Amino acid sequence: MTEVTATEAEPQKCKQIVFESDRKCVFRIPALLYERESESVVAFAEQRESAADSRAKKLVMKTGKLKEESPHVKTIQWSDFKSVDEARIEGHRTMNPCPLYERNNQTLFLFFICVEGTVEESWQINNGINKTRLCYIYSEDLGQSWSSVTDLTDTLAEINNWATFAVGPGHGIQMESGRLIVPVYGYAKGGAPYALSLYSDDNGDHWQFGKMLQTKSIECGMAEFFDEGQNSFIYCNARSQEGYRVEAISVIKGHEFCKLSGPPTLPETGRGCQGSVISFPAQSEDANTECGQSQDKNKWLLYTHPSNHRRRIDLGVYLNKSPQDPNTWSKPWIINQGPSGYSDLAYIGEGWFACLMECGDKTEIEQIACVVFNYNSIKRGIEE
Domain extents in the chain: 14-383
Other Cβ atoms less than 10 A from the Cβ of 349: the count is 15
Position 286 scores a pLDDT of: 62
User: pLDDT-based confidence at 75, cuts 50/70/90?
Assistant: confident
Q: Which of 46, 53, 247, 366 is catalytic?
A: 53
303 is catalytic: no
Tell me how long the chain is: 384
How far is it, in rounded angstroms, from Cα 182 to Cα 172?
Answer: 5
pLDDT in tens, 185-240: 999 998 899 999 999 999 999 999 999 999 999 999 999 999 888 899 999 999 99
Position 293 scores a pLDDT of: 56
Q: How far is CA 358 from the centre of its chain?
A: 12
Q: How much of the chain, in percent, has pLDDT values that exceed 90?
A: 84
Q: Rounded mean pLDDT of 323-340?
A: 95
Radius of gyration, alpha carbons of the chain: 19
Position 315 scores a pLDDT of: 98
How far is it, in rounded angstroms, from Cα 16 to Cα 356?
Answer: 9
Q: Tell me: domain 14-383, CATH 2.120.10.10, correct?
A: yes
342 is catalytic: yes
228 is catalytic: no
Please name every residue paired with 60 in a beta bridge, in sequence order, or none if there are none. 45, 83
Bond prior to 339 in cis (omega within 30° of 0): no
Q: Which helix or strand (DSSP H or E) is residue 270 part of? A: none
Q: Across the chain, what does the average pLDDT equal?
A: 92
Bond prior to 169 in cis (omega within 30° of 0): yes
Q: Which of 121, 358, 364, 366 is catalytic?
A: 358
Position 15 scores a pLDDT of: 86
User: pLDDT-based confidence at 290, cuts 50/70/90?
Assistant: very low
Position 74 scores a pLDDT of: 78
**Do the Cβ atoms of 363 and 339 come closer than 8 Å?**
yes
